[in-house]
Copies of this chain bind each other. A is one copy, B any other.
Amino acid sequence: MPILYTLKNEVLEANKSLERSGLVSFTWGNASGIDRNEGIVVIKPSGVPYSELKVEHMVVMDLDGNIIDGELRPSSDTATHLVLYKNFPDIGGVCHTHSLWATSFAQAKMGIPVLGTTHADHFRGEIPCSRPYTDEEIQGEYEKNTGEIIVETFKAGNPNQIPGILVAAHGPFTWGKSAEEAVTNARVMEFVAEAAYRTSLLNQDPRAINQVLRDKHYFRKHGDNAYYGQD
């Protein structure tokens, strides 16, 4: 089953690069990937130290969470990942961390405004912070409800152009075309979160940059007219 092996390896590598990125303390983070043709999701097991992770530890399941392969319990956030895969049809990977700067915005229950071109290069608009949970949502299928709230937040937005969110009081979730891209988006979000924090402390009424400058930067790097990087 070479497709499966490839995906397991990609997800393993994405989790390893998550560890190298410094975004994860202890075991507080996870990355997953999906093969849309096969309808198969691969995710990190729960609570296993990153330094010990091996390809055979990866947990394989279908989109309903039925385990297909793997002997370990999947990440406790698995149900959130699955809701995102079902509702955001273009994504191929999901990542969750407790990285310091994004988590601080989540705990402050604030989105990350577009204060500069670094943000606009990567996220086409404010990175939103989700609404609080109801008590019922917490006491019910908590991790599934986390996913539903993320989807609700993006009802009027485009998850392909804003590939991440802050779950209020918790921390960031990001996604992308692959598990690796979801990790990259987590790293970029962490950078723009820190820069936004510093900007807000320097200038207590920071203004988001205007739409023309946002679009200029976003489309320098995305879409048919992008001219950043090599072909």
Residues on A lying within 8 angstroms of B by beta carbon are 25-28, 45-48, 72-73, 76, 98, 100-101, 103-110, 115-118, 133, 135, 138-139, 142, 169-171, 187-188, 191, 194-203, 206-207, 209-210, 212-213, 216, 220, 227-231
Contact = CB atoms under 8 A, between A and B. Distances in A.
Nearest to A48: B230
A200 B197 contact: no
Nearest to A136: B212
Copies of this chain in the oligomer: 4
A138 B216 contact: yes
Contact of A212 (B109, B135, B201): B135
Contact of A103 (B195, B206, B213, B231): B195
B135 A202 contact: no
Given A48-B230, A73-B230, A212-B138, A116 B202 contact: no
B138 A213 contact: yes
B103 A202 contact: no
A108 B202 contact: yes
Given A47-B228, A107-B199, A116-B170, 19 more contacts: A26-B187, A27-B229, A28-B118, A46-B229, A73-B227, A98-B118, A103-B116, A103-B195, A104-B195, A106-B116, A107-B116, A107-B198, A108-B199, A108-B203, A135-B212, A139-B212, A139-B216, A169-B213, A201-B201
